[in-house]
Amino acid sequence: MGFLNRFKLSRDMGIDLGTANTLIYVSGKGIVLEEPSVVAIDRKTEIPQAFGKEAKLLLGRSPEHIQALRPLKDGVIADFEATEAMIHEFVKRAFEGNPLVHPRMVIGIPSGVTKLERRAVIEAASNAGAREVDLIEEPLAAAIGAGLPISEPTGNMIVDIGGGTTEVAVISSQGKVISESIRIAGDELSEVIANHIKREHKLAIGENTAEAIKFKLGSAYPVDEANNRTVEVRGLHLLSGLPRTIEVSESEIRQCLQEPVKSIIETIKLTLEQTPPDLAADIIDRGIMLAGGGALLRGLDVLISHETGIVTHIAAEPLKCVVLGTGRVLEDKTLDRVFSDRSILI
């Protein structure tokens, strides 16, 4: 009985530690936290002042003594201390205070990370209070969260477009058969938009503004050519040094996104070319599944279908697929072959 109480109190958790957002799933409760992966730090004391949504508002707007930063880049830890502090804060929020006992954590990581980068994630989670850390590669977690039958001996293709990486994998019998990972994803799309506006309109815009344009106008394929939407964009004119407002259109933004979108398509094609014939036949029957925030880019599913000849689906909750996958792994003992690293810390 004591063990059962300890298990209930520990509230083991699954974490999607993403470049753009961090989501936490607590066993028995579901998704309890969804916050931007941003930390605001006092430059003088090196003490974090804000996390998540509050910190993201300070990107490009913080006072001189505060630095707002993303501690993860391309899906891996770029600032260890800030990442550790962020995990610790988010875990505390997920438990509405400090957990009574140390939780087990299942954390999604990009498939292309090095051993050193894996160890950094385990160490950061350990320092944030984990008693045990299991790592699962994000395409596997996304496939589980999207509801693909990964335990069956049939081919399933998942394309997980996150903030820092795009992961393409063919999965069968709880394991990857073939996979490709590129560090071109949602953040790259926002950066391309900011660079385009700077180059073509001589207007400097912030990270949050570029992201807002991507959400409002971003598209990969002209789904509705008759309705070429436009938005006003405010920024700093580089020639006059004064604030200025311009107007950009959906077709203009789609044009500037062609190169990164093409890279994602080429990665999908490369993965398909390396897929064993029988599994390729399964994928033709089942289709390609899109997950991650990038799956919401308008017309991307249509473009992938057009380029590959394979029907392409968008997961029901693309932004939550990885964290839902980690949560299902926590609660389903039949999925015990999916971990890439296991570390018992306490």
- Last residue in a domain, options 224, 254, 284: 254
- Give the pLDDT of residue 342: 63
Q: Are residues 127 and 35 in the same domain?
A: yes
Q: Specify the pLDDT at position 5.
A: 42
For 198-231, how does the pLDDT look when each residue is reduced to its tens digit (9 = 90+)?
A: 999 999 999 999 999 999 999 999 977 667 899 9
Residue 100: the pLDDT is 58
Q: What CATH number is attached to the domain comprising 216?
A: 3.90.640.10
pLDDT tens sequence across 273-310: 999 999 999 999 999 999 999 999 999 999 999 999 99
58 and 164, same domain (yes or no): no
Residues 6+ apart with CB under 8 A from 24: 13, 14, 15, 16, 31, 32, 33, 34, 90, 91, 94, 323
Q: Assess contact for 235 and 209: CB atoms under 8 A.
A: yes
Q: Are residues 164 and 219 in the same domain?
A: no
Residues 12 and 101 in one domain: yes
Do 59 and 123 lie in a common domain? yes
Looking up residue 132, the CATH number of its domain turns out to be 3.30.420.40
Closest residue by Cα to residue 303 from 180, 218, 231: 218
Do 263 and 250 fall within a single domain?
A: no
Q: Are residues 100 and 165 in the same domain?
A: no
The predicted structure's pLDDT at residue 341: 67
pLDDT at 338: 80
Number of domains in the chain: 3
Does residue 106 sit in the same domain as residue 117?
Answer: yes
Q: Where are the beta strands (DSSP E) in 212-274?
A: 230-237, 243-249
- Quick one: how far is CA 240 from the chain centroid? 38
Q: Give the pair of three-digit tokens for residue 179.
A: 């996979």
User: What interhelical angle do 115-127 and 80-94 show, nearest 10?
Assistant: 50
Q: For residue 322, give the DSSP letter.
A: H
In this structure, the answer to whether residues 280 and 325 fall within a common structural domain is: no
CB burial string 43-81: b at 16+ within 10 A, e below: eeeeebbbbbeebbbbbeebeeebbbbbbbebbbbebee
Going through the chain in order, the beta strands assigned E by DSSP cover 13-17, 21-26, 30-36, 39-42, 48-51, 66-69, 72-73, 76-77, 104-109, 132-137, 156-161, 166-172, 175-182, 203-204, 230-237, 243-249, 288-291, 312-314, 339-344
Per-residue pLDDT at 2: 44
Domain that holds residue 8: 2-140+321-344
In a shared domain, residues 263 and 168: yes
pLDDT for 337 equals 75
For residue 36, give the amino acid letter: P
Domain identity same for 37 and 172: no
What pLDDT is stored for residue 346 in this prediction? Answer: 55
Q: Select from 229, 254, 279 the last residue of a domain.
A: 254
Distance CA 142, CA 124 (A): 22
Q: Is 228 helix (H, G, I), strand (E, B) or coil?
A: coil
Identify whether residues 13 and 109 lie together within a single domain: yes
- Percent helix, percent strand, percent coil in the chain, to nearest 5: 40, 30, 30
> What is the full per-residue pLDDT of the chain (346 aa) written as tens digits?
444 444 444 579 999 999 999 999 999 899 999 999 999 999 999 999 999 999 999 998 888 899 999 999 988 899 999 999 999 999 999 987 666 578 899 999 988 788 999 999 999 999 888 999 999 999 999 999 999 999 999 999 999 999 999 999 999 998 889 999 999 999 999 999 999 999 999 999 999 999 999 999 999 999 776 678 999 999 999 999 999 999 999 999 999 999 999 999 999 999 999 999 999 999 999 999 999 999 999 999 999 999 999 999 999 999 999 999 999 998 888 887 787 666 666 5
Q: How far apart are CA 122 and CA 55, in angstroms?
A: 24
Name residue, tokens 């064993």: 276
Mark residue 298 as left, alpha or beta (left: phi above 0; alpha: psi -120 to 50; beta: remaining): beta
